[in-house]
Amino acid sequence: MAAQEDEDTVMGEAGPHNPGPAPLQHLNGGTPGHINGGSDPSLAPPLMGPSMKLPVQTATAMQNPQPPAGVDNGGVSPTKSLPKSLDSGELNTDDYPKTDSLEEGSDWSDTEGANTTWGLPLTQLPSGLCYDVQMRYHCEVRPTTDVHPEDPRRIYYIFKELCRAGLVDDPESSRPLVTRPLQRISARNATEEEISLVHTPDHYAFVESTKDMSDDELIDLERTRDSIYFNKLTFASSLLSVGGAIETCLAVATRKVKNAIAVIRPPGHHAEDDKTMGFCLFNNVSVAARVCQRQLGESCRKILILDWDVHHGNGIQKAFYDNPNILYISLHVYNDGKYYPGGVEGDWDHCGAGAGLGRNVNIPWPSQGMGDGDYMYAFQQVVMPIAQEFNPDLVIVASGFDAAAGDELGGCFVTPSCYAHMTHLLMTLANGKVAVCLEGGYNLRSISKSALAVTKTLMGEPPDRLHSTAPSISAIETVRRVIMIQSRFWSSMYPKAPQDEGLWTDRLHDVIRAYQTKQLYENYKLTSLYIYRTAISKSFENQVLATPNYYQRNPLLVIFHDPPEIKGLPHPITNKLEAHNCWLADAMKDYIGWAVGKGYAVIDVNIPKHVTLEPSGKYEEEEDNRPTATEELAGYLWDNYIEPNDATEIFFLGIGNAFYGVANLLINRDTLYKRVNGVVSFVAENPVRAVASHTQVWLSRWYKDNSLVFVSHAHGVWNTDDNRRKPSKRYGHLIQSSKSGLSEMLVNHKDEVFRWIEERADDQEGESEEEKPRRTTIKAAEAFPKPN
């Protein structure tokens, strides 16, 4: 990662105006030059100078907090009692006047109207900031020119951005400062007992052992671990990172600050109870949540952990998978389990276990490239309704900024404004008790701008406007699936999924195909063609139908199509469809009827999106092998039912994604063009399939001259770089339709298709069998580029 232009300035942590380093408390209680008592200055920047120290009053207020009376702290370091005034951090509503009388004729009762607190007590509290330069000491032993993504400068760039905005009372901050700057929260070393609330003793001992390893041992260890590096100060930085998360969450939960952001590293949400991985050593957020529950008891029993890091927080999910008092919601790129950390645990159907069933909500994006509209849609439809129903006592944000626009690892496009809007929504929960803890994010500019937007929102600044608010189709589909599965556990999630899957056994696409088969036989005598191939025979049983004359000397129309479209109005609560309010758009029967009426043969191929092997009421994804199976079927039909027979002209008609098989057939069969007279494809908003070959360089030109490809007017294929350049000929003869849906396009353009096929068939009626292949060969030769 390239450093920013002001790298030299940023890296100069202690400027000339700073005197020597100030003493800090350490794990062993001393004040050595480094946190673990070492003295090698080459491994880390200088210690924190006075510019990093807390004001005396703030430091006193934030040090050694005590649990409420009567709450067993379980041996964990207690907290002091709350301060006695707002200036020292306590929300004391007794200092505010209360009403003691009601106006005459008021509709309020005495108990409703009296004792109402006046003023805006929460606005008097500052927001908090936890940052400690010593967390930068975790760095590579032998850095190279290829800077590791988990760069120690990550937290300093964020801190510097907050200073530049005048939000921090620090000598490096721009002046004037805001009216109520961020209150500094001291990071401390987490204790072994606290960390052991989540991690095993062996895991703690392993991380601790790294402080005594040689450089060579540390480098060797890095090679054996999953995406993480170590140095002698890794353990010390990790203790501070966990301790910073704990103190930040306690400060928010006990109302010492109204909310807070912890700019901490190393990150933690991938760390499991016995495993370091994904740049993470200890699970900061999980440990902090456990400590808050243990110290604060009933006042902080229910905690929402919202994880918007672009990677799934497998460590947090594992820590609380069966816990009914921790609600974990994660928005992350999943990509069928191929995106880090990989595996199926991040999919939408992992909802918790035992008492924690329904307390785990995964919103798994199918790919990178997600943006503001997608995240806001997920928040509005899933995150906020579930969070409001859960009604947490505290909200902790596992705030990775690697979904931010500009982050190469994340590959998404979330803007600072979107992070601000999501923060703003979360602030409506838990009486505004929101603690934001840094996780990932590896573009120094992106994370600093995003963290600034979040911090300003926490401090009361309204979010900036969003410029892109429309969700993508893939986001809508993902959110719909999440709602369906989570509707079993949350009353606010509608529509509801089927509860008794045994009752719902017949899939409608099977019922419709059976109906089509009956109707096509009664009207046009189409019967099934048998597929004698083990790999695909079961998948396409009763899916391939043909007229009796398919092998005779007449034009042949071969149709590959998706199942017909169905529309209905489901009940908003039960999700049930009433048959009289459902409609089937089967425009294919018009094309088959026209072809049969003209005396053409027809082979009708339906490509189901799911093959029903056994009755089930479960939601099913589209078959992963559908494109491959379609290609195999197209080849089988060509070899056994089309090419060996006597059709005078052959036309292919592809509808939707089923055209994939036709496109690959054109590419992979060298002599197919000699028999095919035309190809029609209705793409609508599906991907446009290219037909091109490295061995037959003229194929693209032949395809353009012998095809009609109908594409929605809003399709991305029309968005060329300069709006003047035409789409490539390998996509065929593209026609921009005024319609968007497949069914609408089939109806709107059917007369045009009929004329085009009929003209091509009529042009060849007078040609002899010897002339037809010769004409096709000449046409292909003309398409071949001539030498200069």
CA dist., res. 560 & res. 742, Å (int): 13
CB-CB contact of 429 with 392 (8 Å): yes
Cis before 341? omega within 30 = yes
Is beta strand 601-606 parallel, antiparallel or unpaired with respect to 556-561?
parallel
Sheet with strand 394-399: strands edge to edge: 183-185, 128-130, 259-262, 434-438, 394-399, 303-307, 326-333, 360-365
Torsion angles phi and psi, residue 171, rounded to 5: -55, -25
Ramachandran bin of 64, using left for φ above 0, alpha for ψ from -120 to 50, beta for the remaining angles = left
In 210-257, alpha helices (H): 215-224, 234-253
33-63 burial: b if 16+ Cβ within 10 Å, else e = ebbbebeeeebbbebbbebbebeeebeebbe
Q: Is residue 144 classed exposed, middle or buried when 0-12, 13-18 and 19+ CB atoms within 10 A define those classes?
A: exposed
Reading the block at residue 509, the tokens are 């696409």
CB-CB contact of 266 with 220 (8 Å): no
CA dihedral over 246, 250, 253, 256, signed as positive or negative = negative
Ramachandran bin of 576, using left for φ above 0, alpha for ψ from -120 to 50, beta for the remaining angles = beta
Active site residue 17: no
Q: Is residue 579 classed exposed, middle or buried when 0-12, 13-18 and 19+ CB atoms within 10 A define those classes?
A: exposed
CA dist., res. 648 & res. 543, Å (int): 25
CA dist., res. 170 & res. 52, Å (int): 7
CA dist., res. 14 & res. 22, Å (int): 12
CA dist., res. 243 & res. 322, Å (int): 25
The residues, any chain, with a CB within 8 Å of residue 254's CB and separated by 6 or more, are 65, 79, 82, 296
Q: Which of 203, 270, 312, 509 is catalytic?
A: 270
Number of Cα atoms under 13 Å in the Cβ half of residue 124? 15
CA dist., res. 195 & res. 188, Å (int): 13
CB-CB contact of 436 with 454 (8 Å): yes
Q: What single string gives the DSSP state of each residue in 59-113?
A: HHHHSS--PPTT---TTSPP-PPPPSSGGGT---GGGS-B-----TT-SS-HHHH
Residues composing the chain: 788
- What is the 3 state secondary structure string of 306-373? EECCCCCCHHHHHHHCCCCCEEEEEEEECHHHCCCCCCHHHCCCCCCCHHHCCCEEEEEECCCCCEHH
The residues, any chain, with a CB within 8 Å of residue 652's CB and separated by 6 or more, are 558, 560, 662, 676, 678, 679, 680
The residues, any chain, with a CB within 8 Å of residue 367's CB and separated by 6 or more, are 333, 335, 474
The residues assigned a catalytic role are 270
